[in-house]
Amino acid sequence: MSTEPRFTAACVQMRSGRDPLANRDAAVALVREAADSGADYVQTPEMTSLVERSKASLFEKVTSQDEDPTLAALRAVARERGIVVQIGSLAVRSGDKIANRAFLIDATGAITASYDKVHLYDVDLPNGERWRESATYTGGVCAVVADTPWAPIGVTICYDVRFPALFRALAEAGAAVITAPACFTQQTGEAHWHVLHRARAIETGSFMISAAQGGHHEDGRDTYGHSLIVDPWGKVLADAGGNEPGVILAEIDLARVTDARARIPTLLHARPFTVERIGRPA
């Protein structure tokens, strides 16, 4: 029988709006629900406390990390329930821009790690949606692997999931679980959300755990939902199944990481190479 750790993970799916305090209260209630359902680790989605398209309104409502009411409330819940909480991200002031920052909180309520989203979502979609995160947010420059009582966790946010080199680097740095909490658009989520998560899990031999925003938000955007927990073989262990707020749970058996990486040891087999361009016109 395997002696590797196990824990119960939960994703909290939300539909955050324009009122940070209402979003805080919704997050606290759902995290408590997850803890009462047996979760040892609970993750909330990207932009837990505020989903706001207007740059001016965003700056009016965003505070520094030390003053953020959602961060304070979820630290208190972690301590109250004796669980690990990962806040998928909060918008916090960072100079003349805003950081899209994730937090890992231990069972005493202490912040053990934070991560600023590296890859910023600047895209024009076929349905006319236009996003320019770089106009408002400052991108991070450091990948993060944080220790927990069970396993090292690699922390990413949303658009990061499209950059496999980041995930490989996290796995090579020891992550057995990788997270990509998100506010994924409905259009791109329908096309890519599940396949990206299964691919990142398979490529790295890691669990993928990603809480998501879902539904029609007050600022007019539509997000995909479908919070996911995927095992290292690419099997979906839990899927919120739609865009309604709620909680999903799954048992995380770290022996599956060892097994997957032994079966397909790509982390060991990678070799350096160069790329040669052939036949390019003069």
Q: Is 268 exposed, middle or buried (0-12, 13-18, 19+ CB in 10 A)?
A: exposed
Q: Which of 11, 52, 133, 158 is catalytic?
A: 158
Concerning whether 117 is annotated as a catalytic residue, the answer is yes
How far apart (Å, rounded) are the C-alpha atoms in residues 206 and 177? Answer: 5
What is the gyration radius of the CA atoms in the chain, in angstroms? 18
| Partners of 229 in the β-ladder | 209, 238
Concerning whether 97 is annotated as a catalytic residue, the answer is no
Strands 97-105 and 137-138: parallel
| Integer CA distances (angstroms), 107 to 78, 83, 84, in order | 5, 5, 5
Q: Which of 46, 52, 133, 183 is catalytic?
A: 46
CB of 83 closer than 8 Å to CB of 107: yes
State which amino acid sits at residue 198. R
Catalytic residue positions, numbered: 46, 117, 158
